[in-house]
Structure 1
Amino acid sequence: MYLDVTHLKEFYDLPLGRMLRVLVGSRVKMLWPEMHGQSLLGIGYAAPYLRPYLKKTNRVFAGMPAAQGVVKWPREVEVPNKAFLMEDGQLPFPDSCIDRILLVHSLEMAGQPGALLDEVYRVLSPGGRVIVIVPNRRGAWARSEVSPFGYGRPYSRPQLDNFLSNHHLSVVSREEALFVPPTNSRMVLKNARSFERLGAVAWSAFAGLLVTEAEKQVYRGIPMKASHVTRVLRPVFLPNGKTAGAQAMNGHSRQQEGTFANEGES
């Protein structure tokens, strides 16, 4: 079940939300450092992580589920709105038109996650890539209500990999994020980067988020081999002809009225 968009917007304006924007956003930028000339679509509430690409992409959109609600994005009055309402299984784009898709606060909230991934596959261009960010089932952030990542369905690494594969999205990169404890403590927020570096080494299996990049699999048709046609001898009735058929093939010849001969024999 999706959270209300106003609550998500307010969270990312808080110190904890700004910390997440930096720590999680750095993982996204590590995977996608350059986006020049490409199109980018965010689904869920991906707006905080799309902003760095506003001037680096050809086109950027923010799709927000109807059950969540939508707000203008970017929020600056002078910048044209790039956000739109959508349903899990209905993206308003033609086939194979988007180069990159980012899912945040999306897959774990979706009422029809399979239909959502089917649409992601449909609109991705051949070889296009998607980053899926979901709460880690083993992490503390999935069990804490201090952030939006404490809601919805968390995933384990095998669950997420299999789910993507079942929808023809091949995993190409696996990252983790949020080794910081889920708290509003000023001490933790102040030292968030140090916690993140330490956690990546000391307790990487308990990361708060799974950050997975996958590629659209495009299957090529399997060419059919030319079939070898074997000529089949078919008996033909010759009322007054000589005996043929299997007996003639075996070298046996005898007179018989109303017998069969091979097709084409005169």
Structure 2
Amino acid sequence: MSDVMPTTVPDFYQTQAGAYCAALLRERLQWFWPEIKHQKVLGLGYAAPCLGAWQGRGALCFTALLPECGGAVGGTTFGGPERAVVAEAAHLPFQDEAFDRIVVMHAFRSEAQAITVLRGAGRVLRDDGRMILIGPSIFAGRLRQCKTPFAHDSAFAPTTFRRVLAQAMLQAERRDEALFFPAQWGGGSVRRGRAGDIAGKVLAPGLGSIALVEVVKNIYAPRPLPITPWRRLWRRQPLMAELHAEHPAKRKQS
């Protein structure tokens, strides 16, 4: 297999290494949510390869592809093109609280974008729903998966990650990890990758290259006020002071 990473995220998941990654991630997702029959699940970013975790289990799966992932509605989407859409994260074409579960993968390129994506996802997530965020670990996760799309995803430090969640009115509840070794090392053998992950969790817990974090809505979290309006207010104060100072002088002249 070539050492050159495919040009788009969907192309990678058509390769042997991509299928290997998706299979291991699906196993971890089944551990988080073993039974979600009759529930609506959304894959956001490019999470279509992971939605097969609930194939044949009664879940109704949809896919929202972000334009920056290079995805297109077609055969690579789980559930068929009738359940897939290409949309901006800030303008997802779904009603509020439409989904019981959301899987977000390959959706974060910066802190600001992550906040936008999570706010959009939080809008379409039920108040009692759950969301799983999949991304590279801060502990050299992107370096170990440099031949995969995870190399282009943002890896947030714990303090930054908590700040991002707070800005989106979310909070973390559970965490898991996968792919302790580069995807190319697995040789396409899911059994070998599973054994490597088990050994990694025993010998080096917390050092997996891919982190899976389950988050829920924090409905009591205060939403921070934007900074820009306050800056405008302070800029207006000198002008208002000048107007008040000129006003008495104008009255005397009149």
TM-score of the aligned structures, taking structure 2 as reference length: 0.74
Given that residues 19 and 188 in structure 2 are in contact (C-alpha distance below 8 angstroms), is that contact kept between their aligned partners in structure 1?
Answer: no
Q: Residues 140-151 of structure 1 correspond to what in structure 2 (within 5 A)? A: 140-142=141-143, 144-151=145-152
TM-superposed CA distance for 1:75, in Å, is 4.6
Please give the per-residue CA displacement for 1:161-216, whole angstroms capped at 9, x wherever unaligned. 33213321121111111112343464987732221111111122321011100111
CA distance in structure 1 between the partners assigned to 2:59 and 2:127 by the alignment: 17
Tell me which residue corresponds to 1:136: 137
Please give the per-residue CA displacement for 1:235-260, whole angstroms capped at 9, x wherever unaligned. xxxxxxxxxxxxxxxxxxxxxxxxxx
Higher share in helix: 2
CA distance in structure 2 between the partners assigned to 1:35 and 1:189 by the alignment: 24
Indicate how the Cα distance of structure 1 residues 52 and 146 shifts in structure 2: closer, same or farther if over 3 A, else same.
Answer: same
Tell me which residue corresponds to 2:91: 90
Letter in 1 for 2:45: G
Q: Residues 47-126 of structure 1 correspond to what in structure 2 (within 5 A)? A: 47-75=48-76, 79=80, 81-108=82-109, 112-126=113-127
Tell me which residue corresponds to 2:239: none
Letter in 2 for 1:41: L
What SS does the aligned partner of 2:68 have?
A: coil
CA distance in structure 2 between the partners assigned to 1:17 and 1:112 by the alignment: 25
TM-superposed CA distance for 1:108, in Å, is 3.8
TM-superposed CA distance for 1:142, in Å, is 3.9
Given that residues 108 and 134 in structure 1 are in contact (C-alpha distance below 8 angstroms), is that contact kept between their aligned partners in structure 2?
Answer: no
Q: Which moved more, 1:25-34 or 1:109-118?
A: 109-118
Q: How many residues align?
A: 216
Given that residues 89 and 112 in structure 1 are in contact (C-alpha distance below 8 angstroms), is that contact kept between their aligned partners in structure 2?
Answer: no
Q: Percent identity?
A: 27
Given that residues 10 and 71 in structure 2 are in contact (C-alpha distance below 8 angstroms), is that contact kept between their aligned partners in structure 1?
Answer: no
Indicate how the Cα distance of structure 1 residues 66 and 197 shifts in structure 2: closer, same or farther if over 3 A, else same.
Answer: same
Indicate how the Cα distance of structure 1 residues 54 and 74 shifts in structure 2: closer, same or farther if over 3 A, else same.
Answer: farther
Tell me which residue corresponds to 2:22: 21
TM-score of the aligned structures, taking structure 1 as reference length: 0.71
Letter in 2 for 1:9: P
| 2:197 paired with 1:199 | no
Q: Which moved more, 1:166-175 or 1:32-41?
A: 166-175
CA distance in structure 1 between the partners assigned to 2:141 and 2:154 by the alignment: 14
TM-superposed CA distance for 1:106, in Å, is 1.0
TM-superposed CA distance for 1:31, in Å, is 0.3
Given that residues 64 and 85 in structure 1 are in contact (C-alpha distance below 8 angstroms), is that contact kept between their aligned partners in structure 2?
Answer: yes
Tell me which residue corresponds to 1:218: 219
Higher relative contact order (CA 8 A, sep 6+): 2
| 2:163 paired with 1:165 | no
CA distance in structure 1 between the partners assigned to 2:193 and 2:164 by the alignment: 31
Dislocated runs of 4+, deviation >4 Å: 73-76, 187-190
| 2:51 paired with 1:40 | no
Unaligned runs of 5+ in 1: 221-266
Letter in 1 for 2:213: T
CA distance in structure 1 between the partners assigned to 2:145 and 2:179 by the alignment: 13
Given that residues 21 and 183 in structure 2 are in contact (C-alpha distance below 8 angstroms), is that contact kept between their aligned partners in structure 1?
Answer: no
Indicate how the Cα distance of structure 1 residues 111 and 88 shifts in structure 2: closer, same or farther if over 3 A, else same.
Answer: farther
Indicate how the Cα distance of structure 1 residues 45 and 5 shifts in structure 2: closer, same or farther if over 3 A, else same.
Answer: farther
